[in-house]
C-alpha cells in the first residue's frame, strides 16, 4: 500500500519562496505519475503540477515559470519548489500518485487520475 506524507508548508510573505516535500513509501509500481494539487477554502481541489517516470512534467498555467516539480528516486521523495508566491497560492497542498505514466493532457492534472493521496500541508501566503 502506497503512503504519502507531505511536509514543508507554512506561512510565507508575497514574493517569497518555499519548498514542499512528499515522502513516498510502499511504491512498487513500475510506472507512475506523481502530482501536487492544492485546495483553497471553498474551492475545488486543483492540479498544480505533475511528473512521471519518464521525467515529463506539466504545470497549471497560473504556476508555470514560478513552481518546479521534481522527484528523487533514491530518496523516494517528490518536491515542489515554489517561488514568487502570491496570496492566491494559499491553500492546502496535497501530493498524489497515479499508477500509470504517459498521461493525456486531459488526465494530467485531474483528481480522478490519481489513486493515492497524502494528508496535505498548508501554505499561507500573506503579508
- Residue 67: predicted pLDDT: 98
Look at residues 68, 75, 82, 74 and name the one whose alpha carbon lies nearest to residue 8: 82
- Give yes or no for a contact between 127 and 101, defined as CB atoms under 8 angstroms apart: no
pLDDT at 33 over 90: yes
39-86 residue pLDDT tens: 999 999 999 999 998 888 999 999 999 999 999 988 899 999 999 999
Q: How far apart are the C-alpha atoms of 19 and 8, rounded to whole Å?
A: 6
Amino acid at each position: 500500500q502506497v503512503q504519502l506524507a507531505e511536509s514543508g508548508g507554512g506561512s510565507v510573505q508575497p514574493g517569497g519562496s518555499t519548498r514542499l516535500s512528499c515522502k513516498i513509501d510502499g511504491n512498487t509500481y513500475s510506472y507512475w505519475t506523481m502530482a501536487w494539487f492544492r485546495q483553497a477554502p471553498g474551492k475545488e481541489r486543483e492540479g498544480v503540477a505533475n511528473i512521471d517516470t519518464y521525467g515529463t512534467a506539466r504545470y497549471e498555467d497560473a504556476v508555470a515559470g514560478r513552481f518546479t516539480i521534481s522527484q528523487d528516486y533514491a530518496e523516494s521523495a517528490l518536491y515542489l519548489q515554489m517561488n514568487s508566491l502570491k496570496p492566491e497560492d494559499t491553500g492546502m497542498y496535497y501530493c498524489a500518485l497515479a499508477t500509470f505514466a504517459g498521461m493525456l493532457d486531459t488526465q494530467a492534472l485531474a483528481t480522478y487520475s490519481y489513486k493515492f493521496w497524502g494528508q496535505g500541508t498548508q501554505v499561507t501566503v500573506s503579508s
